[in-house]
């Protein structure tokens, strides 16, 4: 892998193109489960290809097929330098969808469950996911973030992050304990991205490719893709990495072919002409 790297939290050296585990166990929250052996093969190949940052959550799963269990089965004992990030906050309902907000007291049990499921003594990065499946709001996250900060002080967590947050919520969290990463859906919040750049915080858009690409974006991406003999999806990932040195990409897949394609995007070198065409 030739893409640039980032020092997460100042001490975890990771490739900026990582892997999102949401689609390992299922294509969508409403879809059927995938064969576990497929997810295990994808994880092992991802690490072979140089991926050293895996983003997961306990609520990534369908029935008995759970992403965290697949990660442990495929990769434990974990190689040095492999960073596993997880998210807590939502409560997984019986149907598998994350919903509601865990209380500060419930967050401890969620972190302990992640440690057990992944077979770890300490989690590298834990995001507080705010707002369930809704858009960011300004509801206070102070009590819940403080609960995670206590677990960090106890040594159960190395670094903290926040997910699906507004600028006000990020400020609230930073007043309590350092924030190593922000994981939000949108890549067009330039003020928030600028703050992350200024203070060495990783910015990690989720739904990297699954959030929908507009027809206009597809046209622009297609023009560059044809020039580079690449796919539209590969150019979209390369453009995301080119947006900022603090931006990390975590495309997810349960397919070996798609994995190879995604990782290859890290080697794409977008020229100024390419970037100008993408801006339109």
Distance CA(148)–CA(126), nearest Å, equals 8
- Residue 247's DSSP bridge partners are 203
> How many CA atoms lie less than 13 Å away from 4 in the CB half-sphere?
17
Catalytic residue among 59, 60, 127, 145: 60
Q: Considering only CA atoms, which of 13, 15, 14, 79 is closest in space to residue 44? A: 79
Phi, psi of 33 (to 5 degrees): -75, 155
* Residue 33 DSSP symbol: B
Helices in 90-248 by DSSP H: which ranges? 104-118, 142-153, 167-174, 190-199, 215-228, 232-243
Name the strand (E) or helix (H) holding 20: strand 19-20
Contact 6, 246 (CB under 8 A): yes
Alpha-carbon radius of gyration of the chain: 18
Distance CA(70)–CA(250), nearest Å, equals 17
Q: Considering only CA atoms, which of 105, 145, 150 is closest in space to residue 129? A: 145
127 is annotated as an active-site residue: no
Catalytic residue IDs: 60
């Amino acid at each position: 892998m030739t893409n640039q790297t980032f020092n997460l939290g100042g001490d975890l050296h990771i490739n900026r193109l990582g892997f999102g585990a949401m689609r390992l166990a299922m294509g969508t929250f409403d879809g059927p489960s995938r064969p576990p052996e497929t997810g295990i093969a994808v994880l092992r190949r991802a690490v072979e290809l140089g991926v050293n940052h895996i983003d997961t959550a306990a609520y990534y799963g369908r029935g008995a097929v759970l992403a965290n269990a697949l990660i442990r089965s495929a990769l434990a004992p974990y190689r040095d330098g492999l960073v596993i990030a997880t998210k807590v906050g939502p409560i997984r309902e019986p149907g598998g969808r994350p919903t509601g907000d865990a209380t500060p007291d419930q967050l401890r049990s969620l972190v302990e469950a992640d440690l057990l499921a992944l077979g770890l003594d300490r989690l590298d990065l834990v995001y507080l996911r705010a707002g369930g499946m809704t858009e960011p709001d300004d509801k206070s996250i102070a009590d819940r973030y403080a609960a995670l900060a206590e677990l960090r002080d106890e040594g159960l967590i190395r670094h903290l992050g926040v997910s699906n947050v507004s600028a006000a919520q990020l400020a609230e969290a930073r007043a309590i304990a350092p924030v190593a990463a922000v994981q939000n859906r949108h890549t067009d919040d330039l003020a928030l991205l600028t703050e992350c750049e200024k203070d060495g915080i990783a910015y990690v858009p989720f739904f990297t490719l699954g959030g929908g690409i507009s027809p206009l974006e597809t046209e622009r991406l297609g023009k560059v893709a044809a020039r580079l003999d690449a796919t539209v999806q590969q150019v979209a990932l390369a453009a995301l990495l080119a947006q900022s040195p603090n931006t990390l990409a975590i495309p997810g897949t349960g397919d070996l072919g798609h994995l190879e394609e995604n990782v290859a995007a890290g080697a794409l070198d977008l020229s100024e002409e390419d970037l100008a065409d993408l801006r339109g």
